Amino acid sequence: MKRNQLGYILLLFVLTLICSCSVSKYVPDEEYYLKDVRVTSKDEKVMKKYFLKNYVQQSTNKKIFGVKFPLKAYTLSGTDTTKWACRMMRKIGEAPVLYDSVKAARTEQDILHTLANAGYMKATINQQKTIKGKKMSITFDVDPSTRYYIRNIKREIADPGLRKLICGDDTLNSLLHPDTPFDINVLSEERSRLSRIIRNLGYYKFNKEDIRYSADTIQNKWIVDVTLRIGLHLEDGRSEPEQHKQYHIGNITYLSDVNLQTQNIDTLVRKGVNFSYKNRLRFRPNMLISNTQLKQGELFNDSHLRNTYSNFTRLGAVSFSNVFLQERQGTDTLDAYIIVNHAKPHSLGFDIEATNSAGDLGAAVSASVAHKNFFKGSETFMVKLRGAYEAITGLEGYDGHNYYEFGGEMSLSFPSFLLPFVHQNWATEHRAASEISLQYNMQDRPEFRRHVFTAAWRYKWNSNNQRVNHKFDLLEINYVNMPWISKTFKEQYLDSLGKTNAILKYNYENLLITKLGYTYTYNSLGNREQTFGKNAFTVRFNIETSGNFLQGITSTYNSHINENGQRTFLGIAYAQYVKSDFDFAKSIKIDKDNSIAFHAAFGIAYPYGNSKVLPFEKRYFSGGANSVRGWSVRSLGPGSYNGVDKGINFINQSGDIKLDLSMEYRVNLFWKFSGAAFIDAGNIWTIREYEDQPGGEFKFGEFYKQIAASYGLGLRMNLGFFLLRFDAGMKAINPAYNGKDHYPIYHPNFSRDFAFHFAVGMPF
């Protein structure tokens, strides 16, 4: 009873604090606190299509979860700025936004300008102001009026060559058509489109400003006649007009770590291309040629020029690049000088990590060295070493009490496709890369010793618009070797009371995994853009399979079958499965400080043939910082499974099917901090019924009853190059329990239902 009374008192205190804060005393005389700003219109379609609310120049005070908490904090500061508490509250809070008539006028001008560009040239705005004391609310009521439409389109081209191009077949591709809205943005897009086509056909000196429009409106009618004009070329104000000239590429010269003024340079000619350098050429000539889309004797192409810039920019071995085109006097030839300066080839990395696994403290250290120009073709060769130590407590009956890990990795990546049937030009245009890697990892625990050998060969490439990423794993081989298992661990877990735990036992045996896979990723803003706080979405799809090739070989040659009924290759059992994942994330921007994000992910894996259980590395887990955040990592599911022995739940709490659903409200707080309120749902299930995972099998009539749910709050700190995230989640629906414990949202138990997560980067 006393606890409830204390809660009511605290709630009453907070409400009184929020409601009693006066804003007016912080507003100077003859000025107004801007309480609310709205943009309204009788035409809602126009409002939404042109995002008129985004043109408001002066926003009200920031809202956090619908409440102006920063303003409330500021009003608690008092007026005595000599006090430390006053200065601190004002720094944390936000001063009242005062009405600015200049910004209001700009808002009106920007909205009218946007509508005029869209064809609503008679649009009007009525500013409605409501004043109460020192508080003002303003509404911009927009009347778009009637929209103008194009009646006729006329093209006047003075140059015969361009006239044939633009007035011929290209009219079918034109963005301008009769009976369409008179939209300035469309006219601008058409001008850019035509300029791009013309410049790609060799017209080096043509600019989009050479394309002009005139528009004639008909009196008392909402129609426009549009004329597109292109005049003759004028070199300067004193020259006579002449036809636009097509240019060809002449000599191509690469200047490596030199320029046109450098003295005593060395030269080299390869495939009719000139190379100039100082002391030694740091790049293979073929690498420079293959990344250059400008070709000697071909017409100048502006897209090829831009792609050449882009190709050299992506090469790690290049620190600076530039293309200089020089016209031969009195000819239609352009000589190309391509400057390519090398970057420092060597780099060194060093990382230190601290770990805390269920109270066991540990540390890890890794060091890497890379060469960015290994074969003088911008190939990156990297060697990485890693070591880890963890002091394990609470284990009885084992000889050792510590965990050691040692590992190494070597990788070699090429900025091209190592495939004979792929043309180099295609690979260059799509930023293709090939990678070969070798890895070794040794884990020495009190329970077992484990060696993992990995070899991989993969390809990566992008779409031309840089929104799509492709990754193709041609071959990835993983060999898991278990040379030693503790007698105590084997008796207590693998063969507990004479009953074999199939899932555990399978993951502590020698195993060979041969993976073939493909991953597709789409980012609506482009590969280099973050979707956080923007109107954007990402899609990711992955499919992989393993063991089919080995199944064919071992079946053909009738290889040995081990005691578990598995065929072996070179005496080692191999995994056979197929796995697919789909991931979708959508971000919706509300205003500059608020956004909503949605996430849905589904994955399914099916072991077959030589495997009855998925390998541990390929199984799904639920809970953690990027899943259902009311549970700690790998502690949820499968299904309604509720493990008793927490020592082996990290194995048993895994499955073949995974579902994740999340919704997150995100808000900018102050400085580099932002907050979030989230709801998560999901779980994992098994394809088959396993004796050691009761309640874990996926059943169509039952699975929706086993979906877990959680809610919580998060704090994020954006440091620019990375983001720190702190999320606190509470269980809302727990499928592992029945009765009232099934709905902890009604009966919360902090020690049982709370989970805290620290992570780097956004959850989705």
* pLDDT attached to residue 275: 94
Q: pLDDT band at 3, cuts 50/70/90? A: very low
* pLDDT attached to residue 229: 95
- Percent of the chain at pLDDT exceeding 90: 58
Domain boundaries, the chain: 149-230, 248-342
Q: pLDDT band at 747, cuts 50/70/90? A: confident
pLDDT of 491 above 50: yes
At 689-737, the pLDDT tens digits run 888 788 999 999 899 999 999 999 999 998 877 889 999 999 999 999 9
The CATH number given to 248-342 is 3.10.20.310
- CA distances to 162, 256, 478 from 245, rounded to whole Å, are 10, 31, 60
Q: What is the dihedral of CA 6, 11, 13, 18, to 10 degrees?
A: 170
Count of all residues that appear for the chain in the document: 764
Q: Please give the full DSSP string across 36-99, using - where no structure is assigned.
A: EEEEEES-HHHHHHTTGGGG-SS--S--BTTB-HHHHHHHTS-S-TTSHHHHHHHHHS-PPPBP
Identical fold, 149-230 and 248-342: yes
Q: Which has more pLDDT, 477 or 80? A: 477
* pLDDT attached to residue 356: 62
3-state class (DSSP) for residue 187 = helix
Instruction: Report the predicted TM-score, pTM, of the whole model to 2 decimal places.
Output: 0.83
Burial class (CB in 10 A: 0-12, 13-18, 19+), 45: exposed
At 281-330, the pLDDT tens digits run 999 999 999 999 999 999 999 999 999 998 999 899 999 999 999 999 88
Which one-letter DSSP state was computed for residue 562? -
Q: pLDDT band at 1, cuts 50/70/90? A: very low
- Please say whether the structural domain 149-230 has been given the CATH code 3.40.50: no
Average pLDDT of the chain to the nearest whole number: 88
Q: What is the mean pLDDT of residues 131-140?
A: 93
3-state class (DSSP) for residue 679 = strand
Q: Number of H helices and number of E strands within the chain?
A: 15, 31
* pLDDT attached to residue 691: 82
- Prior bond of 638 cis (ω within 30°): yes
Under 8 Å between Cβ of 92 and 670: yes
At 587-608, the pLDDT tens digits run 998 887 889 999 999 999 999 9
Task: Of 220-224, 282-286, 337-341, 571-575, give the lowest mean pLDDT range.
Answer: 220-224
pLDDT of 378 above 60: yes
